[in-house]
Amino acid sequence: MRISERMRYDIVNNRVQDAKTDNANAMERLSSQKDVQKLSDNPVGAAQMIRYRDDIEGLRQYQTNIEYSKGFLDRSEEALKSIADNLIRAKELAVGMSNDTYDKSSRAATSLEIREIVDEITQLANTTFNGRYIFGGFRNQTPCLSLDGDYLGDDGRIFLEISKGNFRPINLVGRDIFQATSAEQEKGHYDMMTTLDVLHDGLLNSDKALMHAALNELDYQLEKTTSSHAILGAIGNSLKQTNDRLSSEEVLMRGRLSKVQDTDVYQATSDFKRTEATLQGTLSSSTKLLQPSLLNFLQ
């Protein structure tokens, strides 16, 4: 087969273009530090990258849910602690005013502080997080405790998914804190706000029987508040453990993604230098080969 000058030119030109392409690809790998730029680079690796990225995004969403839950729980814990502090203060006043050394006017004056405690606990019961009342259950867009001390929320539990298939409640049922159940009422227990009202009336009227009744009931209300606090602590510990596990899983998943996606810098540098040398050699040899006369080229 006769090799014409045009064929020689085309062969050399193709080799130069191939060398340029290899060098450009190596430069792209080195500059981006990514082995897979498009699906054709590594179809299997690209599919793995999509799966790993999807898994990482899912983990991040779970972590976002946990952060929201922690904020909700922290807000609930702060409110509950303040409620307990107010109940303790009311108990201190009840114990002190039960002493016969205080007269009717002193007790009446103390009843004003009890009224302040009632107002403070009402505000704490209506604490919000991100615009929603934390003790209202599903009815969390309106105050859960009225000014008269009536519970207006429901028994809804709010669950968030903190890992695949793992849902955890993030709220307390306000009714369990502020309202006495029928069973509790049969045993003579009151609602929380009713207890404070009884103490207020006992102090205002210097009625020691009412004061003693309220004092005993305050112990029960504090016990209920402490139990609710313990529930929050258990939920918080569960969230922390899950968040730690998700963080470890994310590190592992990112490592797998990096192994498929990221370039070995030393190897990429070596490949770039090799392709650059190949390109220079191809260009040099092409210059020597392609020096035909006009007549030879036209043949």
Supply φ then ψ for residue 63, to 5 degrees.
-65, -35
- The pLDDT-based confidence of 259 (bands split at 50, 70, 90) is confident
The mean per-residue pLDDT over the stretch 253-262 comes to: 71
- The pLDDT-based confidence of 102 (bands split at 50, 70, 90) is confident
Mean pLDDT across the chain: 82
Structure-block tokens of residue 281: 């050699």
Q: Note the pLDDT of residue 286.
A: 66
On the question of pLDDT at 294 being above 50, the answer is no
Q: Note the pLDDT of residue 40.
A: 57
Q: Note the pLDDT of residue 274.
A: 65
- The pLDDT-based confidence of 19 (bands split at 50, 70, 90) is low
Q: Note the pLDDT of residue 255.
A: 77
Q: Note the pLDDT of residue 5.
A: 58
Better-scored residue on pLDDT, 215 or 269: 215
Q: Note the pLDDT of residue 200.
A: 94
Residue 207 CA to residue 213 CA, distance in Å, equals: 10
On the question of pLDDT at 284 being above 50, the answer is yes
- The pLDDT-based confidence of 295 (bands split at 50, 70, 90) is very low
On the question of pLDDT at 190 being above 50, the answer is yes
Supply φ then ψ for residue 42, to 5 degrees.
-165, 85
Better-scored residue on pLDDT, 41 or 77: 77
Q: What is the pTM of this model?
A: 0.73
Could you read off the pLDDT of 137-156 as tens digits, one per residue? 999 999 999 988 899 999 99
Residue ranges of domains in the chain, CATH in brackets: 79-238 (1.20.1330.10)
DSSP the chain: ----HHHHHHHHHHHHHHHHHHHHHHHHHHHH-BS-SSGGG-HHHHHHHHHHHHHHHHHHHHHHHHHHHHHHHHHHHHHHHHHHHHHHHHHHHHHHHTSTTS-HHHHHHHHHHHHHHHHHHHHHHT-EETTEETTSTT--SS-SB-TTS-B-------EEEEETTEEEE----HHHHHS--HHHHHTT---HHHHHHHHHHHHHTT-HHHHHHHHHHHHHHHHHHHHHHHHHHHHHHHHHHHHHHHHHHHHHHHHHHHHHHB--HHHHHHHHHHHHHHHHHHHHHHHHH----HHHHH-
Could you read off the pLDDT of 78-93 as tens digits, one per residue? 999 999 999 999 999 9
Supply φ then ψ for residue 206, to 5 degrees.
55, 40
Residue 175 CA to residue 152 CA, distance in Å, equals: 9
Q: Note the pLDDT of residue 232.
A: 92
On whether the CB atoms of residues 134 and 75 are closer than 8 A, the answer is yes
Angle between helices 208-261 and 43-97 (to 10 degrees): 170
Residue 153 CA to residue 142 CA, distance in Å, equals: 8
